Structure 1
């Protein structure tokens, strides 16, 4: 069995990304499509409101019990958009009330001052809102940066965080394209990889297994070299995998070299805490703590040139299975 066949055993929810209240429509939409793929992105023309100072009308579409604060399900997009804003020129325009989103602790949301929010990005599963991020938060992580930020080490390991929309993609299977088909989609893999490496470094022990396709990349990319120097300075048992075109020098790590598809076509970063992967408290403000305490992993396979299929996860069973396969087979 190969890692690609192993990956086929996992499935995940279908999720999509929606942006609301576009202040500069085409560039923002193009970046989202280029980051998440054509089929994953939708756009809603409307406004984000903050619950104060707006002339609002309701459409009566809220779910039963919403007025009394009772909840029987997750936050639906329809519930979030139960208000409209009266516009002098166009009548009533659709709106999403960010205060409604903030009141639902079960829906992770990151962003700044509600009064400064101009664009909101929502992660959807079916008709429910899974997570929300301001465009500024998502932009700082993946939209308004490029991979050089990580390759050169300009973004330090301690500065890597996941916006709620990215965190909410955990366990959702994805297909991403690399350059030249896309300038941005591969950046998601890089960002999640750095987050997992940060979790291992912050933990200071446990086991980290990382693949590089070509082991020479470790020394060729300053940022990558710096990350693994910092990780291996701790008590983390570090294992590096790839084609042995040039072995990394002076790293306290175990090198696993090979030329079969598991080495040439895989991209994995798996952190296993000392006591083994286990469920940890989910808190939108502490994904790092969750990864440090319970483990976190990424597995992707290049199914055709520059096309990657995979998932990343906090799930203890999946982390254990991926770690066990790598440990026994590579």
Structure 2
């Protein structure tokens, strides 16, 4: 069995990204599609209101439509299934289920001049634990990015948070070491992608999608470095990349200095010098076509008990793993996870077979 066949045993939920009240639609939409992909992750221009409208969906353009941003005029409720829903009445923020796509895009607020006013109920957002919103006015909702699953919000981030992490940066920040381990953190929308299978494209099909893999990889490396113990297993396809990329070399020097048991995997085109790590070299597809970063705490992967809202502590205490396979040239398929069973299985496969 190969890592690609091993990956086939995992499945995950399908999630979509909703961008609320985009002020600069085309560049932002194109950037989000290019970052998250346009097949598994569907990017939708969501326009919500305060619930005082007439039940019409709207994209804020004054024509009463909600569009999916694809330029083909389709109408959608933001859940990616092409439906427009009609609901009436205010949103019940006290209920136990998540905020739905219908509540994001199923209303149309109209002002005194009969103009459509795109907005969301600020009080609802402020009282929801599943959306990181601390603003006080509808203007503060501008460019809020929400992650949806089965029509409900599972995570949210501001566009600026996503921009700082992946949208407005490039991989040079990591390969040159300009962004250190201390600075790597995951916005809620990216954190919320855990256990969701993805397909990403590399250059030249996309200039940005592999940046998600790089960002999550650096986050897991930060987990190991912060923990200062346990085991980290990382693949590089070509081991020469460790010395070729100044930032990558610096990261693994810092990790090795903490006492983490570091294992590095790849084709032995040029072995790294003077690095306190165990080198695993090979030429088969598991070495040439895989991208994994797996942190296993000393006591083994387990469910984190304390501060589950912190991804960093969750990874340190329970373990975290990324596994992706280049299923075809420049197309990566995979997932990343905090799930103890999945982390154990990925770690065990790599430990026994590579």
TM > 0.5: yes
Quote the offset at 1:283 in angstroms: 5.8
Equivalent residue, structure 2, for 1:109: 132
After TM superposition, the structure 1 stretch with the greater mean CA deviation from structure 2, 77-86 or 152-161, is 77-86
Aligned length: 322
Matched residues in 2 for 1:24 and 1:211: separation? 38
Matched residues in 1 for 2:116 and 2:270: separation? 63
Matched residue SS, 1:269: strand
Alpha carbons of 1:63 and 1:159: their partners in 2 closer, same or farther (altered >3 Å)?
Answer: farther
Matched residues in 2 for 1:256 and 1:113: separation? 54
Unaligned runs of 5+ in 2: 56-85
Superposition RMSD in Å: 2.5
8 Å contact from structure 1 (residues 110, 137) kept in 2: no
Quick check: which one's strand share is greater?
Answer: 1
Alignment of 1:139 onto 2:163: yes
8 Å contact from structure 1 (residues 280, 294) kept in 2: yes
8 Å contact from structure 1 (residues 62, 78) kept in 2: no
Alignment of 1:268 onto 2:292: yes
8 Å contact from structure 1 (residues 123, 130) kept in 2: yes
Alignment of 1:125 onto 2:149: yes
Quote the offset at 1:227 in angstroms: 0.5
8 Å contact from structure 1 (residues 212, 267) kept in 2: yes
Equivalent residue, structure 2, for 1:32: 32
Matched residues in 1 for 2:234 and 2:143: separation? 36
The equivalent position to 1:216 in structure 2, one of 240, 248, 257, is 240
Unaligned runs of 5+ in 1: none
Quote the offset at 1:92 in angstroms: 3.1
8 Å contact from structure 1 (residues 62, 79) kept in 2: no
Matched residues in 2 for 1:63 and 1:265: separation? 52
Equivalent residue, structure 1, for 2:343: 319
Normalising by structure 1, we get a TM-score of 0.90
Normalising by structure 2, we get a TM-score of 0.84
1:55-78 deviation line (CA, Å, top 9, x unaligned): 9547593799927x233x222122
8 Å contact from structure 1 (residues 32, 41) kept in 2: no
Equivalent residue, structure 1, for 2:9: 9
Alpha carbons of 1:65 and 1:19: their partners in 2 closer, same or farther (altered >3 Å)?
Answer: closer
